[in-house]
Structure 1
Amino acid sequence: MAYLRGTFCAGYRTTSRCEGINAFIKDFLKSTESILELVHSLDRVVKDYWNNEVTAQFYSTYYSLVLTTELDSIELFASKVYTQAVFREVKKQIKSVATLLFRGRDSISRTCVYKFSKMGKPNKTHRVLYDSNEEKIECKCSMWNSEGISCNHIFYLMKYEGLEKIPEGLILSRWCKDAKDWRSKPPPKVQRAIKDACLDMVPFVGR
């Protein structure tokens, strides 16, 4: 944790992901196979991965999840944005808001600094920075930077500020239900930048 804090690794810190893939592939392969049989076996592996992806996408799109936390508006928003697998992890953070204690709030220029501690650990304080003008939230625990998921400290701040949805800047596109749509077209900010660049080029094109 000391070396990986703030570095995005999608929540993985060991080789378990690679080991899991190796174990999965071994179910399709045999040591006595020829090169041609090996290629066909690997093709079945890829098709099985595709089938799992389509199944997960179907459940994320057409199944409604049960809301169980007190932050129902934020939880509902998260259930509509994230895939089921990611939503389960986000829900854990929303639930653990109940274990936090509010320790104070300071204002530095336009930024507010919130301090929280966990029940049973009053000496360990976590700080969250919040800029209401830009809807920018940053927690010093760096969970979002390393996993792409908002931590319970950020969700506590949302509760305190009365936010009913997760700010756009804290939504990682790769965890969304429409992740493939994000890949097929640029995000809104990128689209606006491209449009502005094209408009700037108009006078030169007309010459």
Structure 2
Amino acid sequence: MPCGIFVGIDNHGKTILFGMITTGRSESINAFIKRFVSSHISLTEFVKQVDIGVEEIIQGHVHLDLTDSLKPTSLKTKSPLEEQVFGVFTPFAFKKFQEELTRSTLYSIIHVEGDEFIVRYYKGEDKISHGVFWNGNTSMCSCKNFQFWGILCRHIVRVLFHKDCFKISSSYLPLRWCCDALQATTSSGGPTI
């Protein structure tokens, strides 16, 4: 029998299971969804299962946090942006940000018009460009990396360096990737994006 599995990733980049269900061979997608939603016997039973699942996730995160705290993670560029993110993100998310930060040095800003920036990477004969909007508070990029991953892209980071911005607003440090939710919400001071 076919099996439907719903998975995602946690703030450590680990795959987690949200739920699963088996289907009949000739079952339609609508019947499958209906059965998945109504597969729990009662609301009370569902709440008990969620409580058990949450407790297991919390225990798993405590273990991952302890394991991650023992792994050596180091700053590569010593930039204020890197230091800020290092103190807030989980090691998994920090490494993703660090990759974007390092790659941002490979880009040039070739055009600025008001709050619009064109950032270009030269690769052989190819010239790959991205449009970045930054008005001092809000930032968006045509690559949509932040919307997809929740981690600022190399193009936005390049613009931040260009505009001498050395502090990231807490709105660009999603709780999903934070070690401690309080750290992410108390960031303040200095020019921010």
- TM-score exceeds 0.5: yes
| 1:82-118 superposed Cα distances (whole Å, 9 cap, x missing partner) | 01111111111011112212211111xxxx1111111
| 1:127-177 superposed Cα distances (whole Å, 9 cap, x missing partner) | 110112xx1111111110111110000110111111112122211111111
Q: Check if 1:74 corresponds to 2:78.
A: no
Select the structure that is richer in helix: 1
Q: Distance in 1 between matches of 2:105 and 2:76?
A: 13
Aligned alpha-carbon RMSD (Å): 3.5
Q: Give the 3 Å change call, closer, same or farther, for CA 151–57 of structure 1 in structure 2.
A: same
Q: Check if 1:124 corresponds to 2:118.
A: no
Q: How many residues align?
A: 143
Q: Give the 3 Å change call, closer, same or farther, for CA 75–118 of structure 1 in structure 2.
A: same
Q: Check if 1:137 corresponds to 2:148.
A: no
**Structure 1 alignment gaps of length 5 or more:** 1-8, 23-44, 189-207
Q: Give the 3 Å change call, closer, same or farther, for CA 168–104 of structure 1 in structure 2.
A: same
Q: Check if 1:175 corresponds to 2:177.
A: yes
CA contact (8 A) 1:10 1:147 kept: no
Match of 1:98 in 2: 105
Match of 2:162 in 1: 160
**Structure 2 alignment gaps of length 5 or more:** 1-7, 21-52, 187-193
Q: Distance in 2 between matches of 1:59 and 1:81?
A: 17
Choose from 74, 93, 96 the match for 1:89.
96
| 1:23-53 superposed Cα distances (whole Å, 9 cap, x missing partner) | xxxxxxxxxxxxxxxxxxxxxx988755441
Higher relative CO (Cα under 8 Å, sequence separation at least 6) belongs to: 1
Identity value in percent: 17
Select the structure that is richer in strand: 2
CA contact (8 A) 1:136 1:169 kept: no
- Larger CA Rg, structure 1 vs 2: 1
Q: Which secondary structure state, in structure 2, belongs to the residue aligned with residue 99 of structure 1?
A: coil
Q: Give the 3 Å change call, closer, same or farther, for CA 10–57 of structure 1 in structure 2.
A: closer
